[in-house]
Structure 1
Amino acid sequence: MLFEIEVSTREKFQIVDITSEVQTLVYRSGVKHGIVIVFVRHTTTGLLINEAESGLLQDIRAQMKELVPKGAGYAHDLIDSNAHAHLRATLFLNPEVVVPIDRAELQLGTWQRILFIELDGPRRRKVLVKICRC
């Protein structure tokens, strides 16, 4: 089953916890055992599984900005001035994450959350969620 989550961001760089939305889709699907594949089709976004603690999220943002600064003379900036967003997505994030499902529950660790990272917002984005029965 393929589902879609719409994420509307309000900031240029924003981290959104989408774990609850994914879990709700798992419940709705009726799948008790399997996997969920969460995928973004946007090259200036990405996904990450990590803790959603505010200090850590600030650290992630700060490190991305420090290691890949905006306006550092990237060739792609000649097209639309967002090379930094593409590079941050490529170097730090994935377009997909896979999580096992057992008894209709995402099998994430105690502090693990599925995080959607917007790098070129604000925008309305779509996240695909494929739920597979095993």
Structure 2
Amino acid sequence: MLFTIDVPTREGFQILDITDEVQKKVWEGKLKHGIVVVFTKHTTTGLMINEPEEGLLQDFKSKMKELVPKGADYLHDRIDHNAHSHLRASLLLNSELVIPVDEGELLLGTWQRILFVELDGPRHRRVLVMLCPCQEYPEE
């Protein structure tokens, strides 16, 4: 079963917690046991699982800017001036996450959250959520 989550972003570089929206899709789809695949269709966005503490998120943004600076004479900038966004997404983030589900709940750790990272906003983005049930086998 496939769902879509709309993710409007307001900043050029923004990190948004989408965990609650993903969990709602699990409940809506009545997935009891299985996995959820979360996928971003955009080449200048990414996904990660981490703690959404504000200091950590600022550290993450600072480190990304340090590792892949904007305007560093990238060849792709001849087209639309966002090569840094593509490189950050490709080198430092995932376009997909796989999360186990049991008893209808995402099996994330205590501080883990699903984070959507906008690298070239503001834009209107969409994230796909695929619910994949696991068949239960009787115990022997």
Scaled to the shorter chain, the TM-score interval is over 0.9
Tell me if 1:33 matches 2:33: yes
RMSD: 0.4
Does 1:132 find its partner at 2:132?
yes
Aligned to 2:85: 85
For the pair shown, which has the larger CA radius of gyration, 1 or 2?
2
CA distance in 1, matches of 2:14, 2:78: 24
| Equivalent residue number for residue 101 of structure 1 | 101
Structure 1 distance, partners of 2:18, 2:66, is 26
* Alignment-derived partner of residue 119 in structure 1: 119
Letter in 1 for 2:51: E
Aligned to 1:6: 6
Residue 23 of structure 1 aligns to a residue whose secondary structure is helix
User: Shift in Å at residue 4 of structure 1?
Assistant: 0.1
- Whole-angstrom CA distance in 1 between matches of 2:30 and 2:3: 13
Cα distance in 2, alignment partners of residues 133 and 91 from structure 1: 31
Structure 1 gaps, min length 5: none
1:92 Cα deviation after fit: 0.6
Whichever residue aligns with residue 15 of structure 2, its letter is I
| Match in the other structure for 2:76 | 76
Query: Which residue identity does 2:20 align to in structure 1?
Result: S
User: 1:23 is aligned with what amino acid?
Assistant: Q
Aligned to 2:67: 67
SS at match of 2:79: helix
Number of matched residues? 134
Q: Which runs of 4+ in 1 moved over 4 A?
A: none
Query: Given the alignment of the two structures, is residue 18 of structure 1 paired with residue 18 of structure 2, yes or no?
Result: yes
The C-alpha deviation readout for 1:71-108, integer Å capped at 9, x for no partner, is: 00001001100000000001110000000000000000
In structure 1, distance between residues paired with 2:14 and 2:32: 32
Helix, strand or coil for the counterpart of 2:74? coil
Structure-2-length-normalised TM-score: 0.95
